[in-house]
Amino acid sequence: MNGRLRAVWPPVIIAVIFLAAWQLLVVVQDIKPFLLPSPSLILGNFFGDFSLMFNAALYTGTTAILGLMFGTVVGLVTALIAQRFGVVNKLITPLAAGLATVPIIALTPILNNMFSITSRTPKVIITMIIVFFPIFVNVTRGLIQVQPVQLELMRSMNARPRTVLRQLRIPNAIPFFFTAMKIAAPLSVIAALVSEYFGGPQQGLGSRIASSAANTAYGRAWAYVVASIITGLIFYLIVLAVERWAAPWTGRARSA
């Protein structure tokens, strides 16, 4: 417990010093809010309109979770297929890389046309596409990159391919999966948020940031940014907690 406290304090102190310096700079230099609002203005907006913040985060967070779930499932299934059939792996990987380079800014308006712009669907699809790639790449590697000696051991014990998959490849891929999730989870919030910039329902964080800024309510726009950061952090922390519970051996020095 003592150690954990010691790990928490330094970043907290640095954050407080940083915010104080920021506040001082804005007040002393009389910087206008459209350039840089002060922390007190931002936090005032944040807590003043907390229920607005909360609802916006809830809307965008729901989009992100749906996209994260579907993207993860598709990524996992594709990785299993790629591991099972080497040929498929060679076919899918370039396609997946291509998908990862699709500019979501360009794709969102198209998906908005294909599906109902008022629905959540196009945003969930965008999030899915973003989430899919890190999951697929990492999990495929985890399934394939097994110690050769462990494979020989399984063969010496007359294990079937299915047993090798269940007892060796999948457990081996779990640390890779969580590494991918730590990237994908906060990324899903960003993807959901950015996809809201292109119209549709106005409840989300992305829409709120855009409209607040357009209405010169800079303090509020920044307050929504704070809400976005907190949402992303919550996603990340949930992944950390699940990893610690489900795979306590990850992050340890691996035995020979």
Partner 1 sequence: MSVTSPVSTTAVQATGIWKVFNEGQANEVTALQDINLTVAPGEFISLIGPSGCGKSTLLRVIADLTQPTKGSAEVAGMSAAEARKQQRYGMAFQQAALFDWRTVQRNVELPLELQGWSKSDRAARAMELLEMVQLADFASHRPWELSGGMQQRVAIARSLAVDPPLLLMDEPFGALDEMTRERMQNELLRIRQETGKSVIFVTHSIPEAVYLSDRVVVMSPRPGRITDIVSVSLGERDEDTREADAFYASVTEVREALRGRTSGGAARARVGEV
Q: Which residues bind partner 1 (CB under 8 A)?
A: 147, 149-150, 152-153, 155-159, 163, 167-168, 171, 174, 247-249, 252-256
- The distance of closest approach from Cβ of residue 153 to partner 1 in the complex, given in angstroms and rounded to an integer, is 5
Supply the minimum distance, in Å, between the C-beta of residue 68 and partner 1: 24
Q: How far is the CB of 75 from partner 1 (least distance, A)?
A: 21
- Minimum Å distance from CB 155 to partner 1? 6
DSSP letter, residue 127: H
The CA distance from 58 to 41, in Å, is 23
Nearer to partner 1, 154 or 225 (CB): 154
Distance of CA 249 to the CA centre of its chain: 23
Q: Least separation, in Å, of the C-beta of 245 and partner 1?
A: 14
CB closer to partner 1 out of 51 and 255: 255
Pick from 176, 66, 80: nearest CA to 129: 66
**C-alpha closest to that of 219 among 14, 27, 16, 37:** 37
With beta carbons less than 8 A apart as the criterion, state whether 216 and 34 touch. Answer: yes
Q: Which of 6/162 has CB closer to partner 1?
A: 162
* Contact assessment for residue 118 and residue 196, using Cβ atoms and an 8 Å cutoff: no
Q: Return d(Cα 117, Cα 127) in angstroms, integer.
A: 15
Transcribe 43-107 into DSSP letters: HHHHHHTHHHHHHHHHHHHHHHHHHHHHHHHHHHHHHHHHHH-HHHHHHHHHHHHHHHTS-HHHH
CB nearer to partner 1: give 8 or 153. Answer: 153
Q: Closest distance between partner 1 and the C-beta of residue 81, in Å?
A: 23
Taking the least distance from each CB to partner 1, the nearer of 69 and 159 is 159
| Euclidean distance between CA atoms 163 and 36, whole angstroms | 59
Which residue lies nearer to partner 1 by CB, 157 or 237?
A: 157
